[in-house]
Structure 1
């Protein structure tokens, strides 16, 4: 699979989605970080929750978390058709293709339209996301089936990591939670992390601004001592042994792109 065109690189924030049904949404916080091959996408509904660990949130708050979306994988572009192959997903896999027709209104404004015209989305590129753009797919040292990725674009980062336990089949995460037989099981269903924020080119700690885990917001993914532009960033044992809230016991190691 070839690299995506340079025009797509950076962080895109969704301004609006308009559906054929008449429903529109400009409130959900949606960020799409695109590197030359890898991408990650984070979508957090506008219902602020307290910045607490999962085990300290109520059942109702857990259900609110189940409305979040996030996914990561490889992007494929063919002329004006863009397809996002999800190799990691916050929600259960439903078999639907994530594919749209793309049109650049300007270099920093992108219109995505469904192939069946059922929706269109307006995306704006964040100015400070232009610059060094790269990413690395990861896997757990002690469990190669558990995957993660760290993506960088300009001053921004997005870290995504799958759950320690695979998500069982189901129509959506809310349904799985409603059928959970224990609180422990509920917590495991929600233990998928996508955290987005800024590192300010290494001049400040890597501060998380938006995350599927409310307790992470305002926290630090990596310290300021970690240079995001370092050539050996993805080979750093200090980085790979400290990434994420639910880090595998043996840490992460680099893996080929999926």
Structure 2
């Protein structure tokens, strides 16, 4: 670690707990609370930037639509990182870059984008935290997309299954993947047919089993996937 940079970074406080910490208390009177049910669209790609949406509770999916009409789910937001519209606002882009859809029931505080921008540009500590939040999200997203970019279909499915097992295995030794093939395909940017073929190949190699319409992975199979050359999430 570069000690000089660490010393410089430590001079400026950019710490915060949840995304709502990036919403100034003085602006709370200008917010409106909205509730979205699963599958409801919060904001669509190409919409005019009017509000910044801070997630109080729940989880949302961010997705892009390709020219073929297929949707690609490429990020998730919750109360810790969910400040929808901050990227567009502080990069001075007038339209929303991705469609945001409620994955669970979601509670959101909306603040007019223009009011937040004027306030933040006159509040240096807040501006520092917002810039850190945006940069940190972009850094993490770039790392994941960079890894997937160089992987073929089977490797992307392995990557997804290994990560799913890692997140859902405790304390059980066998995990059943709840998502269907189309949902998996959306998350890793491939077709449903590619996911189906990849899982058939993995089953033939003994790296997963099929129960009904769902994939099952044991810890031994997970370790075999991890021991491959597929990069894993940090």
TM range (shorter): under 0.3
Q: Which has the larger radius of gyration?
A: 2
TM-score scaled by length of structure 1:
0.24
Structure 1 or 2: larger helix share? 2
